[in-house]
């Protein structure tokens, strides 16, 4: 007669205990829990990566806007200094052609010595990146070039413009003081910086004044080396970065 209380036989022919069945069930539950945790972690990591990528895209787009603004600022700076260069040429022309003094020259003496002083980059976006960590930009080439732009090229522009400023201020104390009635005469409230004047004390003697002529020739050279060269080379790098930023943003948005 069959014993209803008899444990069912295992595949090996031995009765399977309740403990064995429980252990199998518990093991299965643990495996399911572990799998669930791993899936949850994987989803969480994916979500975190997507959030990081969205933030990275936002930072890169901010650099795009900032670079465009900085390039516009560079163009304004170059335009400002080109006006100074043209005024120097006009002064030289009057000297070389032995032309008489005209009142318009007082404005050219003034324009030739103006100083812009704001040719550098805006660092707001870069400071935001540094607060996140520069490694936040995953593209190592872009990251390196952006860091170099702000830590090297921006310093180059700033320092060289300061050298040019000091060159002018030194001349105001050692050259202009004995040759002109004042330095940057006019209304300082004029936001166009175009209405000032510097009236020479003896225009005719300036034509053969070797110290002043030496200053003018140096000024033309320094405009090239200290102003145009740093700005133009940095602008070229920024235009290249703008192209590569656009490519990187497209890549991240399509992931």
pLDDT in tens, 123-147: 999 999 999 999 999 999 999 999 9
Residue 47 lies in a domain: yes
pLDDT at 181: 94
Which residues are paired to 187 by β-bridges? none
Name the residue with tokens 């399509």. Answer: 254
Q: Which of 233, 237, 185 is nearest to 78 (CA)?
A: 233
More confident residue, 254 or 40: 254
pLDDT at 254: 87
Residue 13 lies in a domain: no
More confident residue, 107 or 3: 107
Mean local confidence (pLDDT), 56-60: 95
Residue 200 lies in a domain: yes
Largest CA distance in the chain: 139
Number of domains in the chain: 1
Residue 6 lies in a domain: no
Q: Which of 148, 156, 211 is nearest to 179 (CA)?
A: 211
Residue 9 lies in a domain: no
pLDDT at 44: 67
- Structural domain of residue 229, as residue ranges? 18-253
Name the residue with tokens 């235009």. Answer: 239
3-class SS at 4? Answer: coil
More confident residue, 1 or 117: 117
Residues in the chain: 255
Compute the mean pLDDT over every residue in the chain, rounded to the nearest whole number. Answer: 88
**pLDDT tens sequence across 141-173:** 999 999 999 999 999 999 999 999 999 999 999
DSSP string, 180-200: BS-SSBS-TT-TTS-S-B--B
Q: Answer yes or no: are the C-beta atoms of 124 and 154 closer than 8 Å.
A: no
Which residues are paired to 178 by β-bridges? none
Written as six digits, the tokens of 194 are: 């175009």
Q: Return the DSSP state at 189.
A: T
Written as six digits, the tokens of 203 are: 């225009």
The answer to which of 43-52, 197-206, 213-222, 246-255 has the lowest mean pLDDT is 43-52
Q: What does residue 193 show for φ and ψ, rounded to 5 degrees?
A: 55, 30
Residue 238 lies in a domain: yes
* pLDDT band, residue 203 (cuts 50/70/90): very high
pLDDT at 32: 74
* pLDDT band, residue 50 (cuts 50/70/90): confident
Sequence-distant (6+) residues with CB within 8 A of 28 are: none
Alpha carbons 216 and 180: distance in angstroms, whole number: 15
Written as six digits, the tokens of 164 are: 């040019």
Would you say residue 83 has pLDDT above 90?
yes
* pLDDT band, residue 184 (cuts 50/70/90): confident
pLDDT at 192: 60
Residue 12 lies in a domain: no
pLDDT at 1: 46
3-class SS at 57? Answer: helix
Alpha carbons 166 and 185: distance in angstroms, whole number: 19
Q: Return the DSSP state at 184.
A: S
Q: Where are the beta strands (DSSP E) in the chain?
A: none
Written as six digits, the tokens of 18 are: 């309740």
């Amino acid at each position: 007669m069959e014993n209803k209380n008899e444990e069912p036989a295992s595949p090996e022919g031995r009765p399977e205990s309740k403990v064995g069945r429980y252990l199998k069930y518990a093991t299965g539950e643990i495996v399911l829990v572990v799998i669930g945790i791993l899936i949850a972690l994987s989803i969480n990591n994916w979500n975190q990566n997507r959030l990081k990528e969205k933030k990275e895209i936002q930072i890169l787009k901010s650099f795009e806007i900032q670079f465009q603004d900085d390039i516009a600022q560079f163009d304004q700076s170059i335009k400002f200094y080109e006006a100074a260069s043209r005024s120097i040429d006009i002064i030289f022309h009057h000297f070389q052609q032995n032309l008489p003094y005209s009142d318009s020259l007082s404005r050219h003496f003034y324009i030739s010595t103006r100083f812009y002083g704001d040719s550098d980059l805006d660092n707001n976006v870069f400071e935001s990146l540094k607060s996140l960590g520069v490694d936040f930009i995953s593209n190592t080439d872009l990251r390196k070039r952006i860091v170099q732009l702000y830590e090297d090229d921006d310093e180059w522009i700033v320092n060289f413009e300061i050298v040019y400023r000091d060159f002018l201020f030194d001349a105001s104390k050692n050259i202009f003081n004995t040759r002109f009635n004042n330095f940057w005469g006019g209304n300082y409230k004029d936001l166009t910086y175009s209405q000032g004047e510097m009236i020479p004390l003896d225009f005719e003697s300036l034509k053969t004044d070797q110290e002043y002529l030496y200053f003018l020739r140096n000024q033309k050279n320094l405009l090239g080396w200290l102003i145009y060269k740093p700005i133009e080379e940095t602008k070229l790098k920024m235009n290249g970065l703008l192209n590569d930023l656009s490519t990187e943003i497209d890549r991240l948005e399509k992931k």
